[in-house]
């Protein structure tokens, strides 16, 4: 099922895409990383791994959003994606910055930490899609990052204790401001699907599914502290 509060925002494509990937979302929702994050028992070193990689990821995500703005069909959507790119870099970096200070992660440490295979794969997939695919397919590839984070954030918020050490993360993704951004992204993707050919809609579904898989892989990689072996 979709995130609470978003059902009214769904069009034909987004409803079908979520339904096709509902089992994958349930796997993400209940995976050890998110279960322990909700309980507040996630080891700090695993969250530290995640937050550093997520900061790297958001740079690539911001680039892909900027390219979506360049491909957008109308001025309002250009502004929407341009603002989303800014928020990915500025607003969410502020969230990361608080954890970075708590964990003693300085700019040099961050810069010296390489992207893990999961992070590198996800960033490369989004940027390649942004360059090589039409606007509608790019929207579908970008949507899971918005939507799954909102769904996970809502789920964790509903069961997390007030003294959860990851409360700042939980409140960000369960908040009204992020909900509005997610609803706008769903609406933009559904509008793009209306003008897409049958072949493009099939590619949109493949892109949504691939990005959903990469969301799972990103969190799973952080939980396992996965890194390059060579």
User: Looking at residue 151, which CATH number applies to its domain?
Assistant: 1.20.910.10
CB atoms within 10 A of CB 137: 23
Structural domain total, the chain: 1
**Burial label, 198 (beta-carbon count in 10 A; 0-12, 13-18, 19+):** exposed
User: Does residue 230 lie within any of the structural domains?
Assistant: no
User: Does residue 3 lie within any of the structural domains?
Assistant: no
User: Does residue 89 lie within any of the structural domains?
Assistant: yes
* Residues 146-178: tens digit of each pLDDT: 999 999 999 999 999 889 999 989 998 888 988
User: Does residue 2 lie within any of the structural domains?
Assistant: no
* Range ranked top by mean pLDDT from 83-97, 136-150, 158-172: 136-150
User: Does residue 229 lie within any of the structural domains?
Assistant: no
pLDDT the model gives residue 6: 61
Q: Which domain does 81 fall in, by range?
A: 11-224
Contact 213, 190 (CB under 8 A): no
- Token pair 């609803």 is found at 183
pLDDT the model gives residue 99: 87
Residue 32 has pLDDT above 60, yes or no: yes
């Amino acid at each position: 099922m979709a995130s609470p509060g978003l059902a009214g925002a769904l069009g034909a494509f987004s409803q079908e895409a979520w339904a096709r990937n509902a089992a994958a979302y349930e796997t993400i929702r209940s995976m050890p990383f998110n279960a322990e994050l909700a309980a507040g028992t996630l080891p700090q070193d695993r969250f530290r791994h995640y937050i550093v990689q997520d900061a790297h990821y958001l740079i690539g995500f911001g680039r892909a959003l900027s390219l979506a703005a360049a491909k957008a069909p109308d001025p309002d959507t250009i502004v929407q994606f341009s603002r989303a790119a800014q928020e990915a870099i500025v607003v969410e970096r502020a969230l990361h910055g608080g954890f970075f200070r708590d964990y003693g992660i300085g700019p040099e440490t961050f810069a010296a930490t390489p992207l893990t295979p999961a992070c590198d794969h996800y960033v490369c997939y989004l940027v390649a899609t942004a360059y090589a695919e039409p606007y509608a397919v790019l929207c579908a590839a970008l949507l899971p990052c918005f939507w799954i984070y909102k769904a996970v954030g809502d789920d964790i918020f509903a069961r997390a204790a007030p003294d959860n050490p990851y409360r700042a993360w939980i409140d960000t993704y369960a908040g009204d401001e992020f909900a509005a951004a997610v609803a706008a992204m769903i609406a933009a993707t559904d509008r793009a699907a209306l003008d897409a050919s049958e072949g493009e809609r099939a590619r949109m579904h493949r892109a949504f599914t691939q990005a959903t898989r990469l969301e799972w892989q990103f969190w799973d990689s952080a939980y396992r502290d996965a890194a390059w072996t060579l």
